[in-house]
Each structure stands twice: as C-alpha cells, then as structure tokens.
Structure 1
C-alpha cells in the first residue's frame, strides 16, 4: 500500500495543482484574447523560431512539446492551414518530415510575444523574489530532467 502524504506535502500538492491550473488557464485566455493563438500554437512557434533554420523534425518537436505523434500532426495541420507553419520532407532523410516556421508564423510570434510576456510577468514573475525564482528553477529543472529520463527509459524499454 502506498503511504499517504503528510499534511504539509498534501497542502503543497493541492496548492500546486490549483495554482498551476489557474495560471495555465489565465495565460491561455490572455494569449487567445491578445493574439488568437492557443498556448500550444505559441509554444510551437517559439520552439521553431529558436531552432536552426527555424525547422525541427516532427519527432523532436513532439518530444519537446510532450505531445503524442498524432497530437502533433493535428497541431501542425491546423497551424499549417492558418499559414503559421509548413510541413516539409526532411532534407537529410526523405522518410521523415519537419515542421518549418513560415514568415507569417514568425510575424505572428513577434506580435504576440510582448503581450504574452506581459501576462507571464503580471500573473507570475512579478510576484516572486529572486530566491523564489531560483527555487522554482531548481525544482522544476530537476523534476523535468527526472521525468524526461524516466520517459526516455520507458520508450527504450518498449522498443526493445
């Protein structure tokens, strides 16, 4: 049987769940109101804008977004219809495909970014001091690395 959480850990867990859901919802609402983009749209545009040649293999993009291949295919298809990204065959490997940022996608990102940054600052960052920022960075970097490693290990085990 799994041991239950003590009261401090339960309070931390509930505070995290409720606040993270409220924060995600608020950031998404602000992003949609300011730019018409979903948070997933915005994240795809950011990742592609930072990638060499503003393109990423679909598998790499899915991994970075923590999306299933089918969810990414749907996401890229909807964004492609809006002219924000294109899907192209991979130059190095014709079997694979890449998501590529379009000029319209880059312009959309540049227009949305200042509003999104203002929302992130207002709803999260401006309320935290330097020690809290450092603590959050440590905690979520460690957690992200652990979860990524566990996922990679389980994917490797399934493939064998």
Structure 2
C-alpha cells in the first residue's frame, strides 16, 4: 500500500516522493491518483491508484539492498552482447524491469564499456537515463545529496573494488 510521504521508484522515471492522493475525473470517470514529485527532474507524475502494481511502483531500497548495489557496481562487466542494437534492447529491458540491481548493471557495463571505446549516441543517452534512475533512488535511500552519490557510484566503478571507496 502506498501512502503520502512514501519514497518510491517509478521504473524508467526514477525515484520520487508521494505528495498527495487526488481525485480527478477523466473521460467522465472519477478516479484517485497518487501524485509523485520526481527527485531529479522535479516533474510531477500522476499514477492511478488502481494501477500501482501494473506500472511497477515500488518502495525505495533499504540498507541490505544498497550493499548489494555496491557489489554490482564493483563487479566485473557482462560480456559484450553483440551489436549496439542488441545491447541497447538488452539494457533497456533491464531498466524497464524496475530492479535497482539491473539498473546498476546497466550503469556499470556502459561506464566500463565507455572506457574501452566510445559509446554510440543512443547508448550514451541510455547510460545517462540509467545513471539518473540509479542515483535518484540512492539519494532517497541513503539521505545523501546527488553529488556525493554520483561520486560514490563513479568511484566504485573506476576503482573496481568494493573496499576502496566508502560511502
């Protein structure tokens, strides 16, 4: 159950806070909507109350999951899955899943791929989107500012060792 004030993640949009539950009439039908304010963009999103599960809205992760995100970011990248089109579709599926771990994998893989060779424009946009989604959730989960979370993520990937960067 979602409540006002909850910190939540909306797949493909990132993390935000439930600000209100409002009733609106659309096409002659009255319905309740959760109103979210998204952290990174400040965008206001309205989700029908009865469609929360279908859109994948979930609570922000806790400390146990943050430790696992740290492991994912510090881990080795996946093997290159072929051409850029296949890689984009594979990574997009992971982002749409709503799983912070899969989003962390996309960020790790694309950032490490970028070191070896230049990303295509589409892959660069995908990296930016995935990184924004990941950072927005970690900001709310850790109660830290965007810059320190981004530095932590970058440091974990660059050092490639969970023990060398503290958060």
Fold agreement, TM-score > 0.5:
no
Which of the two has greater helix per residue? 1
TM superposition score normalised by structure 1? 0.29
Task: Look at both structures and tell me which one has the larger radius of gyration over its CA atoms.
Answer: 1
Higher relative contact order (CA 8 A, sep 6+): 2
TM superposition score normalised by structure 2? 0.28
Which of the two has greater strand per residue? 2
